[in-house]
Amino acid sequence: RRQSERILVTGGCGFIGSALIRRLLRPGEGAARQVLNLDLLTYAGLIESVTPIDGQERYQFLRADVADLVAVSNAIARFRPDTLLHLAAESHVDRSIMAPQAFVHTNVLGTAAVLAAWRDYRDRLAADESDRLLMVHVSTDEVYGPIAAPKESHEGDPYAPSSPYSATKAAADHLVRAYQTTYGLQAIVTHATNNYGPRQCPEKLIPLAIERALARQPIPLYGDGQQVRDWLHVDDHCEALLAVTERGVAGETYHIGAADRHTNAETIELLCEQIDAALAANGAEAISTRQLVTRVADRPGHDRRYALNTDKICRELNWSPRIGFEQGLASVVRWRLENPAWIAAALERLARYR
């Protein structure tokens, strides 16, 4: 079991990064653990996602661009991490179709800068210290491109990214693996399926649908709604990243998913049921949310199906997802109703970037 005490998280003000930092600083665990969150606070990064936070005295924040080699190198030299969890990215496929350049900047050049800074840092450490370093690079199932049923993608399968988002994530993954092979960098690449949970930017499918439902506005469904996705609760993803950090083997790749696949139409249907139930429980007038679902033109290059095989992480690292999809959707709807201030901040930020 690897002891990670000084952890640098990039992208820690985003959806997954903030959940991960909350998990890392959870009271009663890892009392010696220190976390530095390096994040540019783009439209998707909210300081409200990590404030207030438990373990404040073990937490630091630095606003910086991951593509700024000098800033990243200085942050690493000052903080002296033993572990790097790299999550900072441009993450929204639709935005990558409209404006791919920002994705190349952050996902490709940003990862290149993080790798260069991390390697330089390693090379300056004594051997016993550098042996303890680990970088975990958080990637996506989308790099494999569409997978026809009943097939699944396995670790090591060839890449076939369709969108500028997945192409830039693929480039970043290749850079990480090139650093492993060429410079002996101790790194692990993870591929996760679609995440959902609290504090997800309300431009993504599930939180967008919730906002539209509460505002009684049309809920957009792309094309025929038959695109198949696996849904992983963000807390299950964070547990998996912790398992990878503590017990994963450097140089390996791990898939992370819930093996709970649904078409987008089913996902929206299940969500509508949970929204109706939550509103009814709050005493709201009974209305059928599913009537708001409206088909819109499909996303260009929209992959029909992703399906990761996750046997390796379950078997080798003894991890498995715990949160069922319907239960998870219900808790996300509840979280939304109980956290209007976070939503207001996220919507205000989004409106400025439209």
Residues in touch with ligand NAD (CB under 6 A): 10-11, 13-17, 39-42, 44-45, 65-67, 87-91, 106, 110, 138, 140, 169, 192, 194-195, 201
Active-site hit among 142, 152, 235, 239: 142
3-class DSSP assignment, residue 258: coil
Provide the minimum distance between the beta carbon of 100 and ligand NAD in the complex, in angstroms, as a whole number: 14
**Catalytic site residue 142?**
yes
Find out whether 264 and 204 touch, Cβ atoms under 8 Å: no
What's the min distance (Å) between Cβ of 201 and ligand NAD? 5
Q: Are 235 and 229 in contact (CB under 8 A)?
A: no
- Residue (64 or 275) nearer to ligand NAD, CB: 64
Shortest approach of ligand NAD to residue 1 CB, angstroms?
Answer: 24
Return the structure tokens found at 168.
Answer: 């830039």
Q: Of the two residues 110 and 161, which places its CB atom closer to ligand NAD in the complex?
A: 110
CB of 186 to ligand NAD, least distance (A): 19
* Cβ closest to ligand NAD, residue 67 vs residue 242: 67
Q: Does the annotation count 121 as an active-site position?
A: no
Catalytic residue selected from 65, 90, 141, 276 = 141
Q: Are 81 and 36 in contact, with CB atoms under 8 Å apart? A: yes
Say how many CA atoms lie within 13 Å of 293 toward its Cβ: 20
Shortest distance, position 272 Cβ to ligand NAD, whole Å: 21
CA 165, CA 148: separation in Å to the nearest integer? 21
Q: Which of 59, 121, 144, 165 is catalytic?
A: 165
* Residue closer to ligand NAD, measured from CB, 115 or 292: 115
Name the residue nearer to ligand NAD (CB basis): 4 or 49: 49
Query: Catalytic residue at 141?
Result: yes
Residue 10 backbone phi and psi in degrees, to 5:
-95, 145
How many other CB atoms are found less than 10 A from the CB of residue 51?
Answer: 12
Cα separation, 158 vs 144, whole angstroms: 7
Closest among 128, 109, 114, 139 to 9, alpha carbons compared: 114
Q: Which residue number is nearest to ligand NAD in terms of Cβ?
A: 14
Q: How far apart are CA 188 and CA 180, in angstroms?
A: 9
Supply the residues annotated as catalytic. Answer: 141-142, 165
